[in-house]
């Protein structure tokens, strides 16, 4: 293969993909300047969130998108909503008898009418019991409806999330969605539960308002419902003034909670590495762990925002409760109007007072439900914003929408004037051909340009260069994971390409499932003897015996069988190599995939790949790798590259 050397006059900027771990990047010691910078950063982040999360037209557009998903199969949800409507009608109708029964009970006390008292109490047990049954039935149907909506919405988002590597792109190329795991799990659960409650209130409240408006008109006069309406419209506007800022505050709180949980999740995942690193600290030092300091700082930010939530919620609850608790006084004021203010009557019978008061209270309770809904809408709006943003980004990434359209407007992710390169898939190809390939980071920075390399089957290629120079990025370009390139790539389909990263990915499950991945046991199986022979290739069949011992002692299930915690880094890499051999691709993309195993085992691995006709495209730093390959592609810090044949 001809030698080629290409000089590129460009900056040394090399941006690797940044996974959003959402932890501050400050020093280990307490630093006032850094602390102020962190607070300023959080404040700016909150201002951006506040601007994007309001009860405006965009909010209702986002809500409509979610509603379309929830009613995508409308039969059952509509039937359940209609059922709730029917129960609400029944409950409202039955509730009117409570006022009559109370009137009769009070009348029996003043007249000493025992039969009236007994019959009223018996009827009271019946009608109030029916009302309670209606109420519990509504709550039950709401729970079923919320459960179904969670199922529909979660599966719909997961369907997009796992397509076309969106789960990777949403972390790697996008800054609009933080903590996607929280949005899919916790946010959807809380959103659907809250939505079900709000819908039930929005169904029952109009029933109560309409029916008791009629009854107050019938038992009193026009002024009664008018005053109640005016009173609660005033309450609505007061609540809206308090509620609007809470949308952004609640949204930001959800984000902080997710970040805090993720920080502790990382500590759990890297507990051993953290413990080992901290053993190297001065034993006399009483300084906190870096992780502890970061956790405390983040928790402090979380608590400060939570305090805002508490105070704003206090204002909202005070306004809501004030209008609710003052409603009886308003009711009696209404009843007193014809007696003390209009002078149209000389007195009002006790029985009439009871009925009129009950009707006014029920009318007020209908409006109180609307007030309660307004209190819940601020929480609902936060969930709507987080979930709808997740849907928008998933849809855009799944359909390969231009990446910078999905960013948060902070910095473009690709050059707008750049042409996306051509990727040609040839099912029968036995080579990977890069032609005038230039590739970039997701932020648009040029890494290397005009690379032309032909990688033929049986001619292993080794890629070497300084750390962070763009070697792994090239492998991601070849594999199709990154779309940021110009020029052309001719290659086999991804079924014939298999990429192994430096950090192996081991799933929860048995050793057989580790080898089968990315397939499952429901799709394929490996006979026990074949599995033993496969592990014997690298002399790690002892792992199968260890697994058998674990199973025999009933210590394992699908969710706790975590090999990452039980295997050394070298053993994990060997499992990945066996996975590669089992799948027998034409080309293996090895990104420092043997860095944790001894050199003699590494040599054995490459000999095994040759015996299985698997051509390696390797990234590595060990000089011992050079004799194991046919060609060498080298990068340097000045963005120069060179391809040369290896003389053995």
Domains of the chain: 57-278+289-404 (1.20.1560.10), 414-506+567-648 (3.40.50.300)
Percent of the residues in the chain that have a pLDDT greater than 90, as a whole number: 25
H-helix or E-strand spanning residue 601:
helix 599-611
Mean pLDDT (whole number) for 543-566: 72
Q: Residue 69 is encoded by which pair of tokens?
A: 């998903």
Give residue 13's region: left, alpha or beta (phi > 0; psi -120 to 50).
Answer: beta
Looking at per-residue confidence, does 546 or 344 come out higher?
546
Q: ∠ CA(465), CA(469), CA(470), 5° rounding? A: 105
Rounded Cα–Cα distance for residues 567 and 341 (Å): 86
> Bridge-partner residues for 448, per DSSP?
439
> Taking residues 596-602, what's their average pLDDT?
92
Residues pairing with 645 in the sheet: 631
Q: What is the C-alpha separation between 85 and 83, in angstroms, rounded?
A: 5
> Of 600 and 32, which is predicted with more confidence?
600
> How far apart are alpha carbons 442 and 413 in whole angstroms?
5
Q: Which residues contact 543 (CB under 8 A, 6 or more apart)?
A: 511, 535, 567, 571, 575
Distance CA(352)–CA(100), nearest Å, equals 9
At 482-522, the pLDDT tens digits run 888 999 999 998 889 998 888 888 887 889 988 998 888 88
522: burial class by Cβ within 10 Å (0-12, 13-18, 19+)? exposed
Span 45-74, average pLDDT: 74
Q: Using CA atoms, how far apart are residues 174 and 397, in angstroms rounded to an integer?
A: 9
Task: Work out the pLDDT band at 590, boundaries 50, 70, 90.
Answer: very high
For the record, the structure tokens of 236 come out as: 């609505």
Span between the terminal Cα atoms of the chain, in Å: 14
- For strand 615-619 and strand 461-464, is the pairing parallel, antiparallel, or unpaired? parallel
Q: Residue 553 corresponds to which tokens in the numbers above? A: 């002692």
Model confidence at 91, in pLDDT bands (50, 70, 90)? confident
Which tokens is 286 given? 């009483």
Task: Give 262-304 pLDDT, tens digit per residue.
Answer: 888 777 777 756 776 666 555 555 666 777 877 888 888 889 8
pLDDT interval class at 11 (50, 70, 90): very low
Burial class from Cβ neighbours inside 10 Å (0-12, 13-18, 19+) for residue 35 reads middle
Q: What average pLDDT does range 73-94 have in this prediction? A: 88
Q: What is the pLDDT of residue 54?
A: 58
Question: pTM of the prediction?
Answer: 0.67
In sequence order, the β-bridge partners of residue 435 are: 488
Q: Burial code of 273-301, b = ≥16 C-beta within 10 A, e = fewer?
A: ebeeeeeeeeeeeeeeebbebbbebbeeb
pLDDT at 432: 92
User: CA 504 to CA 576: how far, in whole Å?
Assistant: 6
Does pLDDT of 608 surpass 70? yes
What kind and span of H or E run contains 281? none
Q: What is the pLDDT of residue 276?
A: 60
Query: How high is the pLDDT of residue 399?
Result: 65
Distance of CA 391 to the CA centre of its chain: 10
> Could you report the per-residue pLDDT of 524-552, keeping only the tens digit for each?
899 999 999 999 999 999 999 988 887 77
- Collapsed DSSP state (helix, strand, coil) of residue 633: strand
Is-cis flag, bond preceding 255, omega within 30?
A: no
pLDDT (tens digit per residue) in 153-192: 999 999 888 888 888 888 877 777 878 888 888 899 999 9
* Cα 243-244-248 angle, rounded to 5 deg: 110
Half-sphere exposure of 302 (CA within 13 A, CB side): 16
What pLDDT shows up at residue 3? 38
pLDDT digits (tens, 9 = 90+) for 224-258: 888 888 887 887 777 777 766 777 787 788 878 88
- Whether the CB-CB separation of 571 and 540 falls below 8 Å is answered with yes
**Which residues touch 374 (CB under 8 Å, ≥6 apart)?**
236, 239, 240, 243, 320
* Cα gap 189→153, rounded to integer Å: 10
CA distance 352 to 26: 72
Q: Is the pLDDT at 624 greater than 50, yes or no?
A: yes
**What single DSSP character describes residue 496?**
G
Query: For position 402, what pLDDT does the model report?
Result: 47
pLDDT digits (tens, 9 = 90+) for 348-398: 777 788 888 888 888 877 877 776 776 677 778 888 888 998 898 888 876
432 burial type by CB count under 10 A (0-12 exposed, 13-18 middle, 19+ buried) = buried
């Amino acid at each position: 293969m001809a030698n080629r050397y290409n000089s590129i006059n460009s900056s040394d900027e090399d941006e690797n993909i940044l996974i959003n771990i959402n932890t501050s990047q400050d020093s280990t010691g307490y630093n006032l300047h850094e602390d102020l910078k962190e607070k300023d950063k959080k404040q700016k982040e909150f201002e951006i969130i506040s601007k994007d999360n309001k009860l405006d037209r965009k909010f209702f557009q986002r809500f409509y998108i979610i509603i379309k998903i929830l009613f995508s199969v409308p039969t059952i949800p509509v039937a359940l909503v209609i059922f709730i409507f029917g129960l609400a009608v029944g409950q409202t109708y039955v509730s009117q008898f409570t006022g009559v029964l109370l009137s009769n009970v009070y009348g029996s006390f003043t007249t000493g009418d025992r039969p009236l008292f007994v019959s009223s109490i018996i009827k009271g047990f019946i009608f109030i019991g029916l009302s309670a049954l209606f109420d519990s039935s509504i709550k039950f149907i709401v729970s079923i409806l919320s459960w179904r909506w969670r199922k529909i919405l979660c599966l719909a988002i997961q369907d997009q999330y796992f397509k076309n590597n969106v789960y990777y792109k949403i972390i790697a190329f996008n800054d609009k969605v933080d903590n996607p795991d929280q949005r899919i799990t916790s946010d959807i659960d809380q959103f659907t539960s809250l939505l079900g409650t709000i819908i039930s209130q929005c169904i029952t409240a109009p029933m109560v308002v309409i029916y008791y408006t009629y009854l107050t008109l019938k038992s009193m006069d026009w002024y009664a419902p008018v005053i109640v309406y005016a009173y609660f419209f005033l309450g609505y506007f007061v609540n809206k003034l308090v509620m609007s800022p809470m949308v952004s505050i609640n949204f930001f709180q959800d984000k902080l909670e997710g970040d805090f949980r993720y920080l502790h999740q990382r500590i759990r995942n890297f507990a051993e590495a953290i413990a080992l690193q901290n053993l190297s600290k001065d034993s006399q030092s009483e300084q906190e762990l870096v992780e502890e300091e970061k956790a405390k700082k983040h928790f402090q930010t979380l608590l400060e925002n939570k305090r805002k939530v508490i105070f704003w919620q206090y204002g909202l609850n005070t306004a809501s409760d004030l209008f609710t608790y003052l409603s009886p006084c308003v009711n009696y004021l209404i009843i007193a109007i014809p007696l003390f203010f209009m002078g149209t009557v000389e007195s009002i019978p006790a029985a009439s007072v009871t009925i009129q008061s009950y009707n006014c209270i029920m009318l007020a309770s209908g409006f109180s439900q609307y007030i309660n809904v307004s209190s819940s809408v601020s929480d609902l709006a936060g969930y709507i914003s987080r979930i709808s943003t997740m849907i928008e980004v998933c849809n855009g990434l799944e359909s390969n929408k231009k990446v910078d359209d999905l960013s948060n407007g902070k910095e473009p992710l690709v050059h707008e004037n750049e042409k996306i390169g051509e990727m040609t898939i040839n099912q029968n190809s036995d080579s990977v051909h890069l032609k005038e390939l230039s590739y970039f980071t997701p932020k648009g920075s040029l890494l290397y340009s005009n690379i032309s390399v032909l990688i033929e089957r049986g001619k292993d290629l080794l890629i070497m260069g300084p750390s962070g120079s763009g070697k792994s990025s090239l492998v991601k370009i070849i594999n199709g994971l990154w779309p940021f390139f110009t020029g052309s790539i001719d290659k086999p389909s991804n079924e014939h390409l298999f990429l192994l990263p430096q950090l192996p990915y081991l799933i929860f499950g048995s050793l057989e499932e580790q080898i089968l991945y990315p397939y499952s046991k429901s799709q394929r199986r490996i006979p026990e003897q074949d599995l033993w022979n496969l592990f014997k290739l690298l002399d790690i069949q002892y792992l199968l015996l260890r697994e058998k011992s674990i199973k025999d002692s009933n210590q394992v299930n699908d969710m706790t069988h975590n090999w990452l915690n039980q295997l050394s880094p070298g053993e994990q890499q060997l499992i990945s190599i066996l996975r590669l051999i089992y799948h027998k691709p034409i080309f293996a993309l090895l990104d420092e995939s043997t860095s944790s195993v001894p050199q003699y085992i590494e040599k054995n691995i490459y000999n095994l790949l040759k015996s299985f006709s698997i051509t390696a495209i390797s990234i590595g730093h060990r000089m011992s790798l050079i004799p194991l390959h046919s060609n060498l592609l080298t990068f340097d810090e000045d963005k120069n590259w060179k391809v040369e044949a290896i003389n053995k």
